[in-house]
Structure 1
Amino acid sequence: MSTLDDPTAIEEALRRSAASDRLLVALDFDGTLAPLEDEPMNARALPEAAAAVAALAATPDTLVAFVSGRSLHDLREIAEHADESPVHLAGSHGAEFWIPGEGPVATEDDDEADALRDELRDAMAAELADLDGVWVEPKTFGFGIHTRMASPEDAQYSRDAADRLVEKRAPHWRRRTGHNIVEYSFRHEGKDSAIATLRRRLGATAVLFAGDDVTDEDALASLGADDLGIRVGGGETAATVRVAGIPELAAALQLLARIRTAARE
């Protein structure tokens, strides 16, 4: 067993995070708190993960945030995020924010970019309409191509078609890949910048970030010596430690809540 996966190392890392004066616990959602779904809007946090989030949100001097590639609207839906929730949100890889007690942070209008987004999204939806298992997801600042249920051939065709279109019409857009998705955006924020914004806005003295996918590595690689990165599942990672899956992450977060609460009683 490597140090990355060692339960003793994980607990020691959690105890170091628990000692921080003002801790930000930032979590990816899909694949980290909620299992990946064939229909992405059906994703919901596992009960034990939701309970761990609630425990941390109730812990003194502890801020919780979901940091996701989902649009803010869709993230609120799948996270079952109510207006009174204490959980901060960073959607669209950090291009959109929701603040407890205040609501969504206004974003700058860009009519020209929005028009191009709609045109390219509609063009891809039309071109891929006859492919089984391929879905074009509308996003606030672009679109995504989901291929989880598609054949390998159709998935490759979809990615190639989208790459050709964006390279021709919007070469300045940012391209990202994830679990059975490729997405394109005219905004260039990443989860690293989302963490930086949340850290600054909330005055966090340390950050714990957990994620399971390629796009989470931007945030994991940006963490400092006093922070903790957790990779959920396999894959190359810049994280400090790794857990096997969502239940194991939920257990780790519950332990963090207990340690941090006990230290403040």
Structure 2
Amino acid sequence: MTGITETEAIARVADTGILLVALDFDGTLSPLVDEPMQARMLPEARTALDALLAAPDTIVALVSGRSLGDLRVIAEHDDASPILLAGSHGAEFWIPGEGDVTHADAPEDARLRDELRAHAEAATAHLDGVWIEPKTFGFGVHTRKLSPADAEEANRLVDTLVAAEAPHWRRRTGHNIIEYAFRHEGKDSAVAELRERVGATAVLFAGDDVTDEDALRSLGPADLGVLVGDRDSAASVKVADIAALAELLERLAGARSARASSAGE
């Protein structure tokens, strides 16, 4: 969609048959916070998602690096929700009517995960403010509360550990976090699996972090990638902040509803 306006881009995806709206959570629907489990969707973002859910032939999904359990907590997502979830960068899913959907792992992967996480905690215990976040398929090293020097030290120590003990693990960087995982799925594969599952004829994906670029780069000519922020990105549309994304999504929901009304006349 390079070279067209935001309004034209919205109109194009609004005109598709079945639309999947797949959204990152942290920094996209919720502000980034020092205590990750305190993250919550902004009210205007929640309103926009409700509008999309009410629009015909429109499916909403959250696609996050968070583990599925943590994503459900911060998204305030219960078993009655129609919103699909992809956690752990697409290694686990929650589907309405089915519940948790995960792919089997070898027991030795879980054992190594627990050992490495414990080693990382021990190696960084002297750095006040670092948090080693447990994840289903690995762990994350949060350094938001650290000085730049201490953050660099924490990341160096854990990088050295993982390189020595699990060089085959996937490493991802984000806002004040480095994630390590024995599963290699990315948000691109998450979007692809969700697209196939719901039979979407087009996808809108929005995110803010570099970990969202896998999904943004994977989109096709009928899709729309949206970046929340202003940096180099594969996204074809950029919005300034969460409020601006919410406005875009509400415009999209309105266009989807208007399209259905016109077709029914």
Q: Give TM-score, length-normalised by structure 2.
A: 0.96
Select the residue among 187, 190, 194 that pairs with 2:183: 187
Aligned-residue Cα RMSD (Å) equals: 1.1
1:110 and 1:77 map into 2 onto residues whose CA distance is 27
Give yes or no for the alignment of 1:25 onto 2:21: yes
Give the structure 1 partner of residue 32 of structure 2: 36
Give the structure 2 partner of residue 12 of structure 1: 8
Give the structure 2 partner of residue 237 of structure 1: 233
Select the residue among 213, 216, 222 that pairs with 1:217: 213
2:133 and 2:49 map into 1 onto residues whose CA distance is 27
Residue 153 of structure 1 and its aligned partner are, at CA, apart by 0.9
Residue 128 of structure 1 and its aligned partner are, at CA, apart by 1.3
CA contact (8 A) 1:67 1:91 kept: yes
What does 1:248-259 align with in structure 2 at a 5 Å threshold? 248-259=244-255
What does 1:17-166 align with in structure 2 at a 5 Å threshold? 17-166=13-162
Give the structure 1 partner of residue 174 of structure 2: 178
Unmatched tracts of structure 2, length 5 or more: none
CA contact (8 A) 1:33 1:46 kept: yes
Structure 1's consecutive aligned runs of 4 or more residues displaced over 6 angstroms after TM superposition are: none
Residue 12 of structure 1 and its aligned partner are, at CA, apart by 1.3
CA contact (8 A) 1:133 1:151 kept: no
Residue 9 of structure 1 and its aligned partner are, at CA, apart by 1.1
Residue aligned with 1:264, SS: helix
Q: Deviations over 1:187-214 (max 9, x none)?
A: 0000000011011111000000000000
Residue 57 of structure 1 and its aligned partner are, at CA, apart by 1.2
| Aligned residues between the structures | 260
Counterpart amino acid of residue 25 in structure 1:
V
CA contact (8 A) 1:35 1:43 kept: yes
Residue 54 of structure 1 and its aligned partner are, at CA, apart by 1.1
Residue aligned with 2:139, SS: strand
2:106 and 2:37 map into 1 onto residues whose CA distance is 27
Deviates more, 1:102-111 or 1:223-232: 102-111
Q: Deviations over 1:43-76 (max 9, x none)?
A: 0000000110111012110000000000000000
CA contact (8 A) 2:123 2:158 kept: no
2:155 and 2:124 map into 1 onto residues whose CA distance is 10
CA contact (8 A) 2:49 2:60 kept: yes
Residue aligned with 2:103, SS: coil
Residue aligned with 1:105, SS: strand
CA contact (8 A) 2:28 2:228 kept: yes
Residue aligned with 2:102, SS: coil
Residue aligned with 1:221, SS: helix
Give the structure 2 partner of residue 208 of structure 1: 204
User: CA 1:186–1:39 in 2, change beyond 3 Å: closer, same or farther?
Assistant: same
Counterpart amino acid of residue 190 in structure 2:
A
1:152 and 1:38 map into 2 onto residues whose CA distance is 15
Residue aligned with 2:121, SS: helix
Unmatched tracts of structure 1, length 5 or more: none
2:93 and 2:241 map into 1 onto residues whose CA distance is 27
Counterpart amino acid of residue 226 in structure 2:
I
1:57 and 1:207 map into 2 onto residues whose CA distance is 15
CA contact (8 A) 2:26 2:39 kept: yes
